[in-house]
Every structure is written in C-alpha cells, then in structure tokens.
Chain A
Amino acid sequence: MDLGHAPQDEEFRYAARSWLAARVPGTPLPSLETAEGFAAHREWERTLAADRWSVVSWPEEYGGRGASLARWLIFEEEYYAAQAPGRVSQNGISLLAPTLFAHGSPAQLARVLPPMASGEVIWAQAWSEPEAGSDLAALRSTAVRTAGGWLLSGQKTWSSRAAFADRAFGLFRSHPDADRPHRGLTYLMFDLAAPGVTVRPIGRLDGKPAFAELFLDEVFVPDEDVIGEPGQGWRVAMSTAGNERGLTLRSPGRFTASADRLVALWRQRADPADTALRDRVADAVIGARAYHLFARAGAARLATGDDLGAESSLNKIFWSELDIALHETALDLLGAAGELADSADEAPDHGSWAAGWTFALAGPIYAGTNEIQRDIIAERLLGLPKGRR
C-alpha cells in the first residue's frame, strides 16, 4: 500500500503545472453564468484544447491524451491549485461523453467528441421536468417517430448551462405503451437552436441564469442523434449515472485546493483564540484529505477492473456536504466582508468564496438529491429493505 506516483506520472504533473502557470488568466474570468463570462470560458476551453489539456483522459483521436484515472486526478489537482477557470464544458465532458464511450456509435464519437473537447459545442442537460425531479422515470416529454428521426415535444427544466449552450441531451418517452415507467424511454441529443425549441433562462439563487426551462414543440432530431437503442434510454442513462455522482464530476483536486486556500485565509485573518472556527477549518482540511484518499483507493480499484457501482452515492453525499461546509467556514471567517456578493468590488479573493458558496448550495440537489443517494446506499450497500420514500 503506497501513495507514491510513478515517475512518468510526476512528469505529467509537472507538464500540466508548467502549462497552467503560463496560461491561467491572472484575474478570474467573469462568471460563466453570464453571457460575457460564458463566451470567455468557451475561449478558455479552446485554449485548453489547443494543447490537449481539455480532456486528458480521452483517447488521443478525440483530442485527449489517453491519461489514466490516476493521471486525471493529478491533472485536476494541478488545475484547481492553479485557480484555473471553471469548466463550462463540464456537462458534456463528464455526463454525455462517458455515455457515448459506453453506448455511442463510432460515427457519433467522431462527430460529437472533438467539438466538445474544443468548446466549439457546449452541452446542456435536459433531464428534469416540472413533474419529474427525483422521480425521473415519471417524465412525460415525448419523442414521436417520424421519417428519418424523432419529433420531441414537452417541457424540460433545471437544465444547467442551457441559457447559453449550443446543444442538449436527455431522455424522452418514445414508447408510451411500455409496461413500466422507466421502460420506453429514448436517449437523444438535440440542437437548442433548432426550430420548435424555446429556452427560458431561470435565475438561480443569486439571480444568474445558470439554468433554463426548455419548451419543445415537435423538434426534429435525426436518427443519428439517438444514443443506444430507442426504448433503452433509461438503461443507457443509468449505466453512467455514477459518473455524475462520482469523482469524475467533482474531483478531489477541487476540494484540496479550496481547503489549502481556506487554511491560508485562516492564517491571515482568523483570531487564533477562536478555536471553534479553527476546528471547522481543520474539518475542511480533513474532509478534503479524506476525499483525496478515497479517490486514490477508488482509482486503484477501478484499475483492477472493479466497478464502484452504488459507491458513487457515498461520494456524492460526501463532496456536496464538504463543499458547503468549507465555503460556509470561509464566509464566517471573512467577518463583515463575508456577506459581500461575488460581484461586489470589495469582495475578498475576487468573490470566489461567495460564488463558491452559491455554487456549493446546489450540490446536495443536483445529480440525484442526497436523499435519493441515501436510499441507494441503504438498499444497495447496506442491504436494507426497500421502503416508502
């Protein structure tokens, strides 16, 4: 048992570090949840992709470096330690791409992945509906067969990034006569600029249009944009749901970097006699370290061919709660400046703590609420009987 890295992996680390040191913008980009910030973040994706740093774990033919999970973890550590911009392509890279690798055709991979890697096409997700949140299988939007493809109709909501994104992916009810609600669904990709699509941005807690409602009225989708078999959408979506909850969505590097910055802030600003605050800073450090080591163990197991399965639900609960606690501690530590919005001129650290807090609050809700994750843990990891929700 060992926590060292292979020398080649350390070389990879230093290559990433020196590239990031030269390229990361000196002042943070505007928020990616604004039109201006979205464009700036898209440009940053292009910069990353030009030197093959946007999707390091993908095969080289699609713009990646074929990096192992261990190297991806290293890249993420360096990325967040360098305070590099948030990833506007996250939905595509961590949700759609794994689904395509598992279920997509070679033609789909060749068509969809390179523009995703370069930021040319930015993806939004279209899962939830007004009457289908945690109970996703209750979704009612339809895909009706037509010549050469499908016509999508209905309403999607809480569609992250959709206010400014180019395309979206999601589940639609294609076989309304199926015997169970989660059967008869199809996984499709569609253009947000297509005729029949109306996007209504929704202001999140801080008012920024981070997500949107989508109204679909007979939107044509060609057959080539169906992933997997029609009617098998639930299975296709769920086979990679662990990616969303697991470490590929929120890498440990993000939290170890935040914890390091929190410790620096505490050393700069905190009253050493305030041991209650000290304990919370320590808990953030311990939590980040725990997540880092948990991921190292998980990566080692994946490398031996193990499937982590429902264990990704443990991950999701842990990082989402850690993220909130860490940012709450930072805001408390900042005292009177802790309530300044991230847009305030005098917000400490360019508003990153305030923005981080707002972002963190969504964590226990998206990607399957933490209540749903606890149900999964209870049934699939602890073996408790199925119960009433």
Chain B
Amino acid sequence: MTFLLDDEQREFGRTLDRMLGAADIAGAVRAWAVDDTGPGRKVWQRLADLGVFALAVPEEHAGSGFLPVELAVAFVELGRHGVPGPVVETVAAAALLRRLGDPAPSARWLPGIATGGHLVSYADTYGETVGTDGTAGTDGTGEGGHPGGDAGGGRGPYALDAHTADTTFVVAGDRLLSATGHGPVQPSLDPARRLARPAYGGEVLASGPAVRAASRHAVDVAASLTAAQALGAGRRLLADTVTYVRQRKQFGVAVGSFQAVRHRLADALVALEFAQPLVFGAAVALAAETGADGQRGRLVATEGAGRAAAVRREVAAAKVAAGEAAYGAARAALQLHGAIGYTDELDLSLWIRKARALRTAWGTPSECRARVLTGQDIFY
C-alpha cells in the first residue's frame, strides 16, 4: 500500500546503473550508428543476464512474469546510459505475445527474448491495412493515431532497427505478421536509432480482434517504457550539466554560480521530479490492469474497456511529462554547455538527440495530450 519502490527494486536499478556505467555505452552507440551492432548486443546480453527482458515474459517461457514497475526501473537506467537498439520494441513485442496468449508464437519467440538473444522490432499500423509493397489501404476501423510515427502518405510507421533486429513484428489491421523485409534504412536525429518501414508481407502469426487488443496493450507498454527511458535520459543530461557548470569558469567563477544558469537547472529538475511519479504511476496502472499486482480502492470502478482507457490515460500523461522534461533538460544541457555541447564529438550530444527522438516515439505530445482527455470515465 505504498507508492515507493521497495529495497529490491531500488537495488535492481543500482545494479543496472553500475553495470551500464562500467560498459562503454557511448562507444556501442557510435558503432550501432554505423550498423556495427556487436558491442551493443554484448550489452543486451548482459541486460538479459540481469533479467531485464525476462520482466516482460511469463514464467512458462523462461521469464519472470510481467512486472511493469521493475521494467520502468530498468528503462530509466537504459535511458540514463543511452543503451542502443530496439529495447522498447522487444519488450512491447513480448507484452503483445503475452497478452495474445497464443501458445505457438509464444513458445517460438518468448524464450529467446527473455534470455536476450533475440532483438525484435515492432510496428503497428493502427488499423490501416498496408499492401505488401507498403502502399496504403484502410480497414475502416476508424481508429485514430499513428503512435509509430507515420510520416504521412499512409505507408505505415517506421520500425526501429528493422534491418538489424532478428525479427520484426508488424500489426496491420487485425493481423500480426513476422515481416520478411523492410524499406530503405533512414537515419534518425538520434544516431542510435535507425528506422525503416517494414514490409507488410510475411508470415501471419495470428489474426482477429485479439490481435488488435493485444497490440493496443503493447503500444501502451511501449509508450510507458519510452517515457521511462526519456526520464533516465533527462536525469543524465541534468547530472552531466550540473557537473559541467560546477567546473567551467568564466569571469573568474564557476558558471554554475550565475543565477540564470542555476534557475534554468532548477526548472529542469522540477520537470523531471514531477514526471517521475507519472512514469511509475503508469507502471502501477499497467500492473493493475494486467493483474500483475493488486490495486483496489479506486473511486471509480474501472473495469474492462473503461479500465484499459484509464491505463491509457495514465501512460499518455507519463509520456507527455517525461518527454517534455527530458527535452527541456536537453535544451538546458545544450545551452549551458555552450558551443562544446553543439558538437557530435561530445557524448552529451547522444542524449540531446535521443531526447528529441523519444519525444515523438510511440506517441507525440499532441497525440498523448488528446489521449489524456479521451474516454468518458474520469481520470482520477
């Protein structure tokens, strides 16, 4: 009955922080940016060994059950250290399979995800049917929104790292596909992220309304973990900038003694501190929705579809707040580092650019704000 991480959860975060702090993540990111995924995959394996990917996988498939709070703890650390690759997408794919509950695809993919060998990209066309060549169609479900980041033209969203992932899951209409290919690889503003439109042909793993429901849940998981990642990235940007302004001297004093500098960093901290409880609130809501953890005592009974809508609003609120806080921290970091912050060479730039990309990944600020207000039942 307490909205606090327990000792074990905090220790899990510290363990990940230590492991990632000792690894050369910036080097792995720069390699990943030129399609050398070797160093990054080594990091993935270590994360798997510490149980990160198992957190989304049921016990019967070598996982630890679905534990959204622990996942949020982990993804804050992944963001803090800038781990490259489709971490969000892989966990979301596992959540999709878990929710789908279809034994064959679960047995085929989940153990590999849990043990860390398997990188999965994932995209959802949100009700649009897309031809195998990527041309547009629509299934007429009228579901709005393109959280995968549709650039327009009805050609479906991008899938992160589709060209280096082991599998790309695509949900098109009510079909779940294992895509057989992808379009040209497009660099992102974040060099760690490589984007391609998946092919909408391939093996059909499942179809029917259950696929839509499972993918809707998976998109919520993806958005909530993107928010956690953004929060971690923002924390890192702030911490590195505090360190910098304490040592950088101008006019004979540390620039961190100037009030304009101090107040900008104070505001960055306020935004991050108030995004954090939303990120964990979304995790608690996901846990309650999926029966992973008990939650009671709500004023408004939120059952079935109403409950899913309530979870979606919690996730959307977290996504807006963490995305804005991280981006605000990035802007402050860039400004307060001055010209050195505007260089590719300084590793800080990896987080500055990531904060920009995470802001729109799995739900733009505007889409998420609309989601916060949609639905008939009240938010609280």
Q: Give chain A's interface residues, CB within 8 Å of chain B.
A: 1-7, 9-10, 256, 259-260, 263, 266, 275, 278-279, 281-283, 285-287, 289-294, 296-297, 300-301, 303-304, 311, 314, 317-318, 371, 373-375, 377-379, 381-389
Given contacts A286-B320, A286-B321, A374-B263, contact A300 B4 (CB under 8 A): yes
Given contacts A1-B283, A285-B373, A296-B3, contact A275 B295 (CB under 8 A): no
Q: Which of the residues B6, B242, B297 comes within 8 Å of A383, measured between beta carbons? A: B242
B277 touches A293 (CB 8 A): yes
Given contacts A4-B296, A293-B281, contact A388 B3 (CB under 8 A): no
B266 touches A275 (CB 8 A): no
B254 touches A385 (CB 8 A): yes
Residue of B nearest to A257 (CB): B380
**Which residues in chain B, 351-368, are within 8 Å of chain A measured between CB atoms?**
365-366
Residues of A within 8 A of B265 (CB): 378, 382, 384
Asked whether B269 is an interface residue with its Cβ less than 8 Å from the other chain, the reply is yes
Bound complex: CA A371 to CA B294 (Å): 42
Q: Is the interface of A mostly helix, strand, loop or mixed?
A: helix
Residue of A nearest to B285 (CB): A3
Bound complex: CA A283 to CA B365 (Å): 10
Q: Give chain B's interface residues, CB within 8 Å of chain A.
A: 1-6, 9, 69, 238, 242, 245-246, 253-254, 256-259, 261-263, 265-267, 269-270, 273-278, 280-281, 283-284, 288, 293-298, 314, 317, 320-321, 365-366, 369-370, 372-373, 378-380
Among B5, B265, B379, B380: residue with most chain A CB under 10 A: B380
A1 touches B270 (CB 8 A): no
Bound complex: CA A259 to CA B378 (Å): 11
Residues of B within 8 A of A259 (CB): 379
Closest 3 pairs between A and B when the two form their complex, measured CB to CB: A293-B277, A387-B257, A282-B369
Residues of B within 8 A of A287 (CB): 274
Taking the closest CB of chain B, its distance from the CB of A300, in whole angstroms, is 4
Residues of A within 8 A of B253 (CB): 385, 387
Residue of B nearest to A287 (CB): B274
A387 touches B258 (CB 8 A): yes
Residue of A nearest to B325 (CB): A290
A289 touches B2 (CB 8 A): no
Taking the closest CB of chain B, its distance from the CB of A77, in whole angstroms, is 8
B366 touches A292 (CB 8 A): no
Given contacts A2-B2, A263-B373, A296-B3, contact A384 B277 (CB under 8 A): no
Taking the closest CB of chain B, its distance from the CB of A138, in whole angstroms, is 19
Residues of A within 8 A of B2 (CB): 1-2, 300, 303
Taking the closest CB of chain B, its distance from the CB of A286, in whole angstroms, is 4
Residues of B within 8 A of A266 (CB): 373
Residue of B nearest to A267 (CB): B373
Bound complex: CA A259 to CA B317 (Å): 14
B278 touches A286 (CB 8 A): yes
Among B267, B295, B298, B369: residue with most chain A CB under 10 A: B369
Taking the closest CB of chain A, its distance from the CB of B176, in whole angstroms, is 31
User: What are 15 of the A-B contact pairs (CB < 8 Å)?
Assistant: A2-B295, A5-B1, A6-B297, A10-B297, A278-B370, A279-B366, A282-B370, A286-B369, A293-B3, A293-B277, A375-B263, A377-B269, A384-B261, A384-B262, A387-B256
Residue of B nearest to A279 (CB): B369
B278 touches A2 (CB 8 A): no
Taking the closest CB of chain A, its distance from the CB of B279, in whole angstroms, is 9
Taking the closest CB of chain A, its distance from the CB of B374, in whole angstroms, is 10
Taking the closest CB of chain A, its distance from the CB of B34, in whole angstroms, is 36
B369 touches A318 (CB 8 A): no
Taking the closest CB of chain A, its distance from the CB of B264, in whole angstroms, is 9
B283 touches A314 (CB 8 A): no
Given A1-B4, A3-B281, A291-B274, 12 further pairs, Cβ under 8 A: A1-B69, A2-B294, A10-B297, A260-B379, A286-B278, A289-B281, A290-B321, A378-B266, A384-B261, A385-B253, A385-B256, A387-B262
A384 touches B373 (CB 8 A): no
Residues of A within 8 A of B256 (CB): 378, 384-385, 387
Residues of A within 8 A of B270 (CB): 314, 317-318, 377
Bound complex: CA A371 to CA B277 (Å): 24
Residues of A within 8 A of B278 (CB): 286, 289-290, 293
A382 touches B69 (CB 8 A): no
Taking the closest CB of chain B, its distance from the CB of A39, in whole angstroms, is 34
Residue of B nearest to A386 (CB): B257
Residue of A nearest to B370 (CB): A278
Bound complex: CA A317 to CA B268 (Å): 12
Residues of B within 8 A of A388 (CB): 257-259
Q: Which of the residues B9, B266, B277 comes within 8 Å of A297, measured between beta carbons? A: B277
Bound complex: CA A386 to CA B369 (Å): 38
Taking the closest CB of chain A, its distance from the CB of B290, in whole angstroms, is 14
B257 touches A290 (CB 8 A): no
Bound complex: CA A377 to CA B6 (Å): 26
Taking the closest CB of chain B, its distance from the CB of A308, in whole angstroms, is 11
Given contacts A290-B278, A383-B242, contact A1 B262 (CB under 8 A): no
Q: Which of the residues B276, B296, B297, B378 comes within 8 Å of A260, measured between beta carbons? A: B378
B266 touches A377 (CB 8 A): yes
Taking the closest CB of chain A, its distance from the CB of B297, in whole angstroms, is 4
Residues of A within 8 A of B281 (CB): 3, 289, 293
B280 touches A1 (CB 8 A): yes
Residues of A within 8 A of B284 (CB): 1-3
B262 touches A278 (CB 8 A): no
Residues of B within 8 A of A300 (CB): 2-4
Residues of B within 8 A of A311 (CB): 273
Taking the closest CB of chain B, its distance from the CB of A293, in whole angstroms, is 3
A371 touches B366 (CB 8 A): no
Bound complex: CA A281 to CA B242 (Å): 33
Q: Which of the residues B6, B277, B296, B380 comes within 8 Å of A290, measured between beta carbons? A: B277
